[in-house]
Amino acid sequence: MVTSRSRIIVALDLPTAEAAVDLAAAVAEHVAGFKVGLGLLHGPGPAVVAALVGLGRPVFADAKLHDIPTQVEAAAEHLGRHGARWVTVHLSGGSAMVRAAVEGLSRGAGEAPSGILGVTVLTSLDGNSLGEAGIQQSPGRLVSKMTRLAANAGCEGVVTSPRELKVAADVAPDLLRVTPGIRRQPGGDDQTRTATAAEALSRGADLLVVGRPITGAADPVAAAAALAAETAELGVRRPIAGLESPA
């Protein structure tokens, strides 16, 4: 049983709320928390957050909010009322928008621990795809700027690819570093800036977001258990409010 040591957030990118809750219940003892993304939030809807909270792990609503501040504030507040421990915003929405999200979530969550995580640069983007969108800076340079913005606007943490973890740690060491794009081998799907779980933890990740390597495995429970066991002793392991403290 590795519950208290796990730093894995399983990304429940599944077609229905029932499938997400079933998988979450099955892997709960091996993970630190559950993440719901745009598919579930826009399909079954945000009530799935509350259903997952009932399983006793913090829930990460990966809503990737990006709109004018009043809209983002309202959305974050609603997600907080549903019990979200974390909500994501795109930092490219600017500091006023990010501050509005921080206020909205804190109002919605009330006394429960909650925090906004700022998405720096999607892990599916590389220099070429950023160039296509008219952004001439490297992912590293962008992550540096976005992390500073996140710290100044009151985020609890940033979401960043394994490759830019050190940049984020240098710019704002106190922010939580949450890292998707975890793969045993690079390539094979839409993630481009990937690393193994061990690499990401050794570069300073606090939480690993892992989706298809668990949900797409022939035996998701065995995959979650193996990853949790492999990573149980690795990383910095700072205390995180709402997670069981490391044993």
**Where does this chain bind ligand C5P (CB under 6 A)?**
11, 13, 37, 62, 119, 122-123, 159, 180-181, 191, 209-213
Tell me the CB-side half-sphere exposure of residue 220, using CA atoms within 13 A.
22
- Pairwise CA distance, residues 16 & 36, whole Å: 11
Q: Least distance to ligand C5P from the beta carbon of 58, Å?
A: 16
CB of 62 to ligand C5P, least distance (A): 6
| Closest residue to ligand C5P: CB criterion | 211
Q: 130 or 246, CB closer to ligand C5P?
A: 130
Single out the residue of 157, 213, 233 nearest to residue 27, CA to CA. 213
Number of H helices, E strands in the chain: 11, 8
- Residue closer to ligand C5P, measured from CB, 28 or 182: 182
CA distance readout (Å), 173 to 144, 150, 221: 12, 12, 33
- Give 2 or 122: the residue with its C-beta nearer to ligand C5P: 122
**Tokens 């962008």 sit on residue:** 142
Determine the Cα–Cα distance for residues 156 and 173; give it in Å rounded to an integer: 11
- Least distance (Å) from ligand C5P to the CB of residue 120? 7
166 among known catalytic residues? no
Report the residue number, 1 or 140, with the smaller CB distance to ligand C5P.
140
| Segment 133-139 long-range contacts (CB within 8 Å, at least 24 positions apart) | 139/163, 139/164, 139/193
In whole angstroms, the minimum distance from the beta carbon of 216 to ligand C5P comes to 7
Give catalytic residue positions.
64
